[in-house]
Amino acid sequence: MKLPVQSISGAASGELEIKFEVIENKKGQQALHDAVVAYRAGNRSGTAATKTMGDVNGSGKKPWRQKGTGRARAGSFASPLWRGGGVTHGPQPRDFSKKINIKVKRLALRKAMSERLKAGDVIIIDDIQLATPKTKEFFVVLQKLDLTDKTTLFLTGGENRNVELALRNLPGVAINTGHSVVSYDLLKYDKLVFTKAGFEQIEARLAKEN
């Protein structure tokens, strides 16, 4: 399978042959589902918390004596029955993360990449360099690539400070590297724009044995 390569001006610049096997059947669907669920679960903060009776600030003094007042028995101002008291069975900090093994992650990444390639959502460019970190300069690049009305993920071969600063004010546009991108990122955006270096990085990851 070959992909056309273009410059950031939109002009044709040759072809690039894919070096990894594209999944053509339903293989990897469950792995991709598991990877996305694990990614989203890992992003949950898990910091919701309520105070139990032991956490409520107070003296611990018994509100009134046990007998003789005519009122119901009460042992603590922190009782869940009282306003300002503790909460019974409320949420406590927890870890929502799920673990999946490396083979499942790799299969999920291959499946996600294969589906985007088959859908024609992958664009390869030579490189992307900006003289200044200006959003208007980067917006011209989006116009040349016909991506102004689409959410787009740019995948480069390394840190690109000017591009990172230029695109951060544009909604629906993000940047990552082929080395660190995950399956969820590949599915989230309308279009994936790889530099040659960024595509080589993800190819190296997908070329490994499952």
Q: Which domains does the chain have, with CATH numbers?
A: 2-41+99-206 (3.40.1370.10), 50-90 (no CATH)
15 and 2 in contact (C-beta within 8 Å)?
A: yes
Q: Give 175's strand partners.
A: 154
Instruction: Give the whole-number percent of the chain exceeding pLDDT 70.
Output: 99
200, containing H or E segment: helix 196-206
pLDDT (0 to 100) of residue 207: 84
Q: Encode pLDDT of 24-47 as tens digits.
A: 888 999 999 999 999 999 999 999
Q: How many CB atoms lie within 10 A of CB 196?
A: 18
Q: Is the pLDDT of residue 209 over 60?
A: no
Q: What tokens were used for 58?
A: 């107070």
Q: Is the pLDDT of residue 59 over 60?
A: yes
